[in-house]
Chains A and B, each alone.
Chain A
Amino acid sequence: MNRTVIDLWVGLFVAMGIAAVMFLALKVGNLSGAQLVQPYVLTAKFDNIGGLKVRGPVKSAGVVVGRVADIQFDAQSYEAVVTLNIDSRYQFPKDTFAAIYTSGLLGEQYVGLDVGGDERMLKAGETISKTQAAVVLEKLVSQFMFNKAAEGQNK
């Protein structure tokens, strides 16, 4: 078999294609960024998770430290059980506070970890006991409306 000029062009074509896919994967997609180093599992129970989704980020001080691995409904306590994969480079104290926040006005929802002052650290598989549910906009609005209505009656 002899090499031909066509081989060179096809080789160039394939190389460009691979470069384009790599560009899409690394620069456009998030395959390179935020790869967790040997993640360990923590769970947290929330009254309401709002619009939190699997693969959503877990942030502490604004830095992504993990990802949401799984969301289940606990039929006994009627709470949402959220499983978090946390990067093993980061350890969190026992009294860490987990809350669900929204990034920006219309952004995605994420789990925020607010660190406490406990000496002991959370181990893999343990549950974060202190949580705060997602803020539901409708509840806030209706509370505000009821308060306003009550004010009006008192006058």
Chain B
Amino acid sequence: MADFSSPLRRLGHLTIEQLWRLGFATRFFFALLVYSGTAFRRFQLTLREVYFGGVLSLVIILVCGLFVGLILGMQGYEILQRFGSSEALGTMVALSLVRELGPVLAALLYASRAGTSITAEIGLMKATEQLKAMDMMAVNPIARVVAPRFWGGVLSMPVLAALFSAMGIFGGWLIGVVFIGVDDGAFWSQMQASVDFHYDILNGVIKSFVFGVAVALIAVFEGYDSHPTAEGVSRAITRTVVNSSLAILALDFVLTSFMLRGN
């Protein structure tokens, strides 16, 4: 073991280590794309991952969406009624959910609900040398194990984000119209007047797709790259949550700055 006692040395080691990982992650991503054929030819494999990642995340996504909508409804009403424009509640709830909160929160929830389990599964497969065994049997583990999990995540993410937004808007409606008593017609008509299908809804779908790629890639990569020990797998899971949260928020900033053209 080399001596990493001096801070400068440690910093250099850390930087080179990270660059190494980044390069490996890029190569891994391309290998994943190249061997993705199996994930679509044997679609049953991907479907199974959509079930475990997407369908089983439904409860948390729907409940969280509902609560976020309820909170937005209450806070939005409190702020808007100061300006005497509580009818704009529908606009506020819908725009903030469809543009930002739906894709971002659904992706964060997906990363912690499904991303972690993907990392743990692949990490344990590596620790128990199942991946090596597959390689010995001339089954490519990237094609058989990694690619279906990746595409399962990518396909589930836009659906989950759309459900999150729809549920949140329902929650905002519940608080605003049913409990507080904002006019029902004004709530929907102001919303319809200001939410544009291409500009707001499709951009939200694009966002959730990009987040899906990022979260699924980080989850499978951290699992594949984990140290094959119990501690290594636990560290990989932590890194999945931390890195995907950072990636989601950073990507959200970049995508939003591209999408908002100020008109």
Contact = CB atoms under 8 A, between A and B. Distances in A.
A56 B163 CA distance: 29
A21 interface: yes
Contact of B163 (A1, A4, A20, A55): A20
Contact of A13 (B54, B98, B165): B54
A28 B169 contact: yes
Interface string B192-203: 110111001100
B215 interface: no
B162 A21 contact: yes
Given A6-B48, A13-B159, A29-B200, A23 B192 contact: no
A61 B164 CA distance: 39
B195 A29 contact: yes
B159 A29 contact: no
A7 interface: yes
A17 B167 CA distance: 11
Contacts of A121: none
A55 B54 CA distance: 37
Given A29-B192, A29-B200, A30-B196, A24 B162 contact: yes
A20 B166 contact: yes
A13 B94 contact: no
A12 interface: yes
B197 A20 contact: no
Contacts of A29: 192, 195-197, 200-201
Interface string B177-204: 0000000000010011101110011000
Secondary structure call for the B interface: helix
Contacts of B196: 29-30, 55
Contacts of A55: 196
A28 B191 CA distance: 6
Contact of B192 (A12, A14, A30): A30
A37 interface: no
Contact of B50 (A10, A54, A106): A10
Interface in A65-98: none
Bin chain B's interface residue count.
20 to 34
B30 interface: no
A5 to B, nearest CB: 9
B158 A17 contact: yes
A16 interface: yes
Contacts of B51: 6, 9-10, 13
B251 interface: no
A103 to B, nearest CB: 9
A31 interface: yes
A23 B195 contact: no
Contact of A20 (B159, B200, B263): B159
A106 B205 CA distance: 30
A124 interface: no
B201 A20 contact: no
Contact of A30 (B55, B158, B193): B193
A33 interface: yes
Nearest to A7: B47
B58 interface: yes
Contacts of B166: 19-20, 23-24
Contacts of A13: 50-51, 54-55, 58, 156, 159
Nearest to B94: A28
A27 interface: yes
B195 A28 contact: yes
Nearest to B167: A20
Most chain-A CB neighbours within 10 Å: which of B55, B58, B85, B201? Answer: B55
A9 B51 CA distance: 7
B55 A12 contact: yes
B202 to A, nearest CB: 9
Interface of A: 1, 4, 6-7, 9-10, 12-14, 16-17, 19-21, 23-25, 27-31, 33, 53-55, 106, 108
